[in-house]
Amino acid sequence: MNIIFAILIFSFLIFIHEFGHFITAKMSGVKVNEFAIFMGPAIWKKQKGETLYSIRCIPIGGYCAMEGENEDTDSPRSFQKAPWWKRLIILVAGSVMNLIVGFLIVVLVNSFIMAPMPQVDSLRTGSSLAQEGGLQPNDLILQIDEYTIDDTSDFDVVLAGNEGAQEFDVLVLRDGKELLLEDVTFELREFPEDDEGKAGQFYGVTWKTRRLSFGEVITHSWNDCINFATMIWQSLGMLLTGQASISDMSGPVGIVGMMNDMANASETWWSAVLNMLYFGGFIAINLGIMNMLPIPALDGGRVLALLITTPIAKITKKPVNPKVESYIHAGGMILLLVFMAFIIFKDIFVIFKG
C-alpha cells in the first residue's frame, strides 16, 4: 500500500508539471496535439477535440506536445508562431506549478504537525533536572542565561556543544509569574527506552506540543521550501565539484523506494502519510528547480534557447531555423533518456541487492 501511495504522489507531481505547460498553452491559443503522463508506449489514450490524452508505461516523465514546438509549420496556432513572451510563460509554467504545489503540500503537512514548544511536559527519572529540582512540569522556558527561547530549536542551539554537566540561569513562566531559576544543571545522558518508546541521548526533558497557527504554518513551510532549494543547489554543487557522483542520484524507482522506506519507519499510518507527503513536497520543489536547469531537452534549456534566439531574430529580421534548436534538444533528450535508464537500472539493482 505504501508503494502504491508513493507512486500516486510521484505521478501526481509529474501530472502537475505537464498540466502547467498544457493549461498555459491552451490559454495562449497554442494547439496541443498530445498531453501525456509518463513515457514509452501508451497504455491508455483518448482523443478529445484536437488533443490526444494518454498515459504511458514508463514512469520517468511526461510531455505536452504542442504544434510546431520542434519544427516549423504553417499553422497560425503553432508554438513557434506565438509571441516570445507567451512561449516563455508556457515553458516556465511546469516548474512554477511544481514549486506552488510543493509549497502547498508542505503547508498541508505542517498544518497537521504537533510542534514542540519550550514548555516542560515531564522530566525523565535519572536526569540531572529531575534529581536536582529547579524545573517543574508546565514551566515555560523564556530565557537561558542571556539567550531568549522562542521554541525548542533555540533550546538546542544554546545547549549545543556543551559537554558534560553545564549550569545555566533559567527564566521560566510558572503559574502566570516569571521566576528565575539559578544554576540549573543540564546534562546529556543516555536513557533507556521509556513507556512511549523514547530512548537515546538527551537532556531528560519532554516538551509539550501544540498546533501551529496559520501564520506559523506559512512561515515554517516557506522556510522548509527554502531549505529544500538550498539542499538541491548544494547537491548540484557537490556533483560539479566531484564531492558526489552520479551513482548517488536516484530516479523514479529510487524515489518511490525512499518514500516506502520512510513510511515503513513511521510509528503510525497517519505519520507515514504525513512523512510521504512531506517528502513529496521536497520532490516537487526538486522537479521545479531541476527542470529549469539550462540543459537541452529540459525546460530550462528551451528557455535559454528562446532568450538567445529572440534577440538574434529581431536583429537579423529573420527567424532562427527551429530545426537547429530541435536537433540540439533531440540530442539532449537522447542523453537524458540514457542517463535516466542508467539511474533506473541502478535503483533496481540496489533494491534487489537489498
pTM: 0.75
> Tell me, what's the pLDDT at 186?
80
The yes-or-no verdict on residue 161 having pLDDT over 60 is no
Higher-scoring residue by pLDDT: 45, 203: 45
Least confident of 94-103, 143-152, 319-328: 319-328
pLDDT (tens digit, 9 = 90+) per residue, 239-254? 777 776 666 666 566 6
pLDDT band, residue 201 (cuts 50/70/90): very low
Q: How large is the average pLDDT for residues 179-192? A: 78
Structure-block grid coordinates of residue 71 = 519544427
H helix runs in the chain, sequence order: 2-27, 84-112, 128-132, 152-159, 214-240, 252-264, 269-290, 299-316, 322-353
The pLDDT of 215-231, averaged and rounded, is 92
DSSP class of residue 28 equals T
Quick one: pLDDT at residue 1? 61
Residues 6+ apart with CB under 8 A from 236: none
Per-residue confidence (pLDDT) for residue 110, from 0 to 100 = 94
64 pLDDT band, cuts 50/70/90, is very high
* Among candidate residues 20, 1, 4, 7, the one with its CA nearest the CA of residue 59: 7
What value does the mean pLDDT of the chain take?
A: 82
Q: How much is the average pLDDT of 150-155?
A: 82
Each residue's pLDDT tens digit, 66-113: 998 877 788 899 998 999 999 999 999 999 999 999 999 999 999 998
The residue with cell 537500472 is 345
φ, ψ of residue 111 in degrees (nearest 5): -70, -20
Binning pLDDT at 50, 70 and 90, where does residue 193 land?
low
- Under the banding of pLDDT at 50, 70 and 90, the label for residue 53 is very high
33-41: average pLDDT: 91
So what's the pLDDT on residue 258? 73
Sorted by where each starts, the structural domains of the chain and their CATH numbers stand as 2-110+281-353 (no CATH), 116-211 (2.30.42.10)
